């Protein structure tokens, strides 16, 4: 099907078409489409743009990653389908960061598909295709990680992660930066630094900041981040958007 650029939901339709192709190619699973649906709904409520609070969180995330000794970015099928280029930009801007495949519904073929997608856009080394360690406290294959990556990371950037795994990483004393459009998800609530933004936008902004900030300067020193305030700000944004929509007369309520 050809998508018209004039369609008011053009961008969202493009993303949906891309995910549908990713389902066919085996990069993502049907559950991934449902997760995207939940994400889209929250993005809609947030005004489909990066809020000032999310942008601040992204800047602090870049600083934390720069200050980390062993930073890791975890990539699942949806992240590879939606933001592989942005992951590659993050990896180029911070060569120390390890990129690791991390799948909720793991099969060797899918792990390879994620790695292939990343290497096509220039990521040199992808960990986690053949896991070598397990995170305690998680059921079997969801615990699988790479001994050189997430297992030993001090700071984990986990876009679209599951709440259980976020909590398991936190329980091991690892610092978690999440990217999740749902400010109410367990992931957002458990993360040390929850970024409530769409994954390609968030990773793109983090890459911008890493490129701008350059070399690791103050390693070890970490600017504090008020996670509760960030989550409240996201809920406030939703509240304001809803109030604005409710106040508008019916005729003006058409989609942008
Ligand atoms: P949790 O396990 O953290 O409680 P959940 O069970 O509600 O969350 P999951 O399926 O585990 O949801 O994780 C998917 C999460 O990713 C959802 O919270 C959804 O809002 C978010 N999400 C989906 N698509 C995107 C996207 N494109 N950008 C950012 N976040 C997204
Ligand atoms: Mg979940």
List pLDDT tens digits, range 116-132. 999 999 999 999 999 99
Domain boundaries, given as residue ranges, for the chain:
52-233
pLDDT in tens, 66-95: 999 999 999 999 999 999 999 999 999 999
HEC-encoded secondary structure of 184-228: CCHHHHHCCEEECCCHHHHHHHHHHHHHHHCCCCCCCCCCCCCHH
pTM beyond cutoff 0.75: yes
Rounded distance between C-alpha atoms, residue 227 and residue 241, angstroms: 21
Tell me, in angstroms, the distance from the centre of ligand 1 to residue 162's CA.
7
Rounded distance between C-alpha atoms, residue 40 and residue 235, angstroms: 16
Rounded distance between C-alpha atoms, residue 72 and residue 123, angstroms: 13
Kindly identify the ligand whose nearest atom is closest to the C-alpha of 204: 1
Tell me, in angstroms, the distance from the centre of ligand 2 to residue 22's CA.
21
Nearest residue CA, atom 29 of ligand 1? 198
Q: Is the pLDDT of residue 176 over 80?
A: yes
Q: What is the pLDDT of residue 31?
A: 96
Q: What is the pLDDT of residue 248?
A: 77
Instruction: Judge whether 71 and 157 are in contact, CB under 8 Å.
Output: yes
Task: Give the confidence band of 184 by pLDDT, cuts at 50, 70, 90.
Answer: very high
Dihedral Cα 186, 187, 189, 195, nearest 10 deg: -150
Tell me, in angstroms, the distance from the centre of ligand 1 to residue 18's CA.
18
Pick the CATH number of 52-233 from 3.40.50.12640, 3.40.50.300, 3.90.440.10, 3.40.718.10: 3.40.50.12640
Tell me, in angstroms, the distance from the centre of ligand 1 to residue 193's CA.
15
Rounded distance between C-alpha atoms, residue 209 and residue 62, angstroms: 6
From 18, 35, 40, the mutation candidate for ligand 1 (largest count of ligand atoms within 8 A of CB) is 35
| Residues in contact with 218: Cβ distance below 8 Å, sequence separation at least 6, in sequence order | 67
């Amino acid at each position: 099907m050809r998508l018209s650029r004039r369609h008011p939901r053009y961008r969202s339709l493009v993303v949906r078409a891309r995910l549908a192709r990713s389902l066919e190619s085996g990069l993502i699973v049907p559950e991934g489409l449902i997760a995207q649906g939940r994400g889209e709904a929250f993005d809609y409520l947030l005004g489909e743009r990066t809020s000032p609070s999310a942008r601040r969180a992204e800047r602090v995330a870049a600083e934390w990653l720069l200050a980390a000794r062993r930073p890791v970015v975890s990539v699942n099928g949806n992240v590879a389908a939606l933001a592989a280029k942005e992951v590659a930009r993050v990896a180029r801007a911070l060569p120390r960061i390890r990129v690791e495949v991390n799948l909720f519904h793991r099969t060797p073929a899918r792990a390879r598909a994620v790695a292939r997608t990343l290497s096509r856009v220039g990521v040199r080394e992808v960990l986690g295709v053949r896991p070598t360690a397990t995170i305690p406290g998680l059921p079997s294959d969801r615990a699988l990680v790479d001994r050189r990556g997430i297992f030993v990371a001090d700071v984990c950037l986990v876009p679209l992660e599951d709440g259980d795994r976020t909590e398991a990483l936190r329980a091991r004393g690892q610092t978690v930066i999440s990217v999740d459009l749902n400010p109410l998800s367990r992931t957002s609530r458990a993360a040390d630094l929850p970024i409530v933004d769409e994954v390609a936008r968030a990773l793109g902004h983090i890459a911008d900041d890493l490129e701008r900030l350059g070399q690791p300067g103050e390693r070890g020193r970490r600017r504090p981040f008020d996670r509760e305030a960030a989550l409240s700000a996201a809920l406030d944004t939703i509240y304001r958007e809803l109030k604005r929509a409710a106040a508008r007369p019916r005729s003006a309520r058409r989609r942008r």
